[in-house]
Structures are given as C-alpha cells and as structure tokens.
Amino acid sequence: MQRKQKPRADDVEQISGDFEFTEDDFVRIRGLILSHAGIYLGHNKRAMVYSRLGRRLRKLGIASFREYLDRIVSGTVEDLAAFINALTTNLTNFYREKHHFSLLQAFLHKGGLPGHSTIWSAGCSTGEEPYSIAMVLAGALGSRSQVGQVVASDIDTSVLEHAERGVYPAERMKNIPPAELKRYFLAGAGDNAGFVKVRPELRRLVAFRQINLHEARWAVRSPVKVIFCRNVMIYFDAPSRRRILERFATLLEPGGLLFLGHSENIADSRGMFRPLGHTAYLRTDHSGAIQGAARARSGGRSDD
C-alpha cells in the first residue's frame, strides 16, 4: 500500500492569527479526529480547523495549540466532546431533499414498516431530519406509529441538545406545508415570538442518542427498515465508508431503504444495495454479499 507523502513546507497553507499553528499541531488534530470520530481532514482544512479550534482556545484561556491538544489527550470526556463538536459540520433543513421523503412515504403506505421496526437518522444534526421523518411516519401510520420509532443520533452532543429541545426559528419552517406546521408545531408567544416548538405528540416518536459510527456497538433497536445517513460519510476515508456500509447492510433487513447525501455513493457496496435513483438504495436479499465484502476487505481471511 502506498503511503501518502507528507506535504512539503511550501505546500502547507500558512495561517496567521493569535496562535501559532504548526504542521505538527495540524497532524495531531488530524490524528485525533480520525481516531475518535473517523473524520478525515484534508490539508485544505487547515484554515477551518484554526478558526474553529481558535475559538476554543480563546474561551478556555489557553495560549497555544500544543497546550490545548495536550489537554485533549489527557483531559476529560467533556474536553474531547467539545473538540469533536467544534470540528463537525451541521447543515440541515426540514424536508431537505424532498424526493427522499416522498419515497419514504410510498414505502410506508405499502406496509414497509411493520410492527416495532425502526427508522434510523444517523447524523441527525439539530433535529430537522428526524422530525421530518416523524411527520411522514405520523401522516402515513397515524396512531400505529410507535414511541421512539425514529432513532436520531449524532456524535455532536451540542446539536443533540438543540434537537431534543425541538425549538426552531419560524423562518426555518418554509419547507413545511402549512397544514403540517399547524398540526406538529406550537407557535411561540411573548419572549418566544418568532419561534416554534415541536408538539409532544411528534416529539414522542423520536429517541435521541449520541452514537459514534466508528464505535463497535450502535444503540439502535432492531429490526431496522430505513436508514438515513446523508452527508455524513463524505468526511470518512474509503475503508471507513466500506466498513460502515457493511454494517448498515447487516443491520438493515432485506427490502429496507438506505438514503445517502447527493455527493455520496455506494460504489463499494459489492451487491449489498440496489440503487433506486436520487441517492436512495434498497437493501438486497444477497446474504452472501456482506460476507464477501468483509472477506475482500480482510484480504481473504476468515474470522471463523
């Protein structure tokens, strides 16, 4: 396997600011975020990293990146969580990529979510995606929808807190039809004017959890029939993407749906999924495909 060459000094983007930011600092940051969150940072992310972590240094009154990184390595779980939160990107809207929700609605109307099956929003950010899923679920199944049937997860604890509150500026509601807005949200008054809050009957359908996709266990109840993982794997390297797709295929029941972001694909899925168009995929019934992919990844070795 070829090793990636370390960039020459004249290839490294020079950052000017309040703190010295060396190539060694950036290498340490890249290693930490890769090992703890599976996020691959290219060399073109130096300025972004400096800007976001520089705010942390100022808030904590730390004088250098070296001191800050030493604190992350030897510090608390909260320090590490804040480090990861600072470097993750959270951009979302209600009913973003509307065609995905139209397909989900058709899937539900055809009986694609029996009993206590789960829909997983992996990388749920501030909650717009799982609440959009919950609105489709409630509209399609009505009283047959289950408490916590939508599992919403993210690695970023700060966005999860925002999502659990379920409070949003009213201008963020432009993609929601007026009838649904009235049915599923409460309009704020007084000091809360200009905001809306998710109604309890919708909130009950969603269970929020912190999940790192690179951890060995995922706290997601089986059986899983639908997974939304949109604009998440673009931050991972190719081996990590393959591993996660294999695990998704293992978790999803045959006939289940996988939704990815518009810039993502499943080229390495080795027959585990069949494309439906517009970055939507159907879990196939080829049980041997997962084992074959795992063997290929391990160089033909077997765990048996």
Give the residue numbers annotated as catalytic, written as ranges.
Answer: 52, 154
How far, in Å, CA of 150 to CA of 194, rounded?
A: 27
Token pair, residue 170, equals 């009213």
CA 278 – CA 263 distance, rounded (Å): 10
Residues 6+ apart with CB under 8 A from 106: none
156 neighbors 213 (Cβ within 8 angstroms): no
> How many CB atoms neighbour CB 13 within 10 A?
13
Neighbour-count burial for 90-109, b at 16+ CB within 10 Å, e otherwise: bebbbbbbeebbebbeebbe
Angle at CA 272, nearest 5°, toward 266 and 277?
50
Cα Rg, the chain, nearest whole Å = 21
**Interatomic CA distance for residues 210 and 157, integer angstroms:** 7
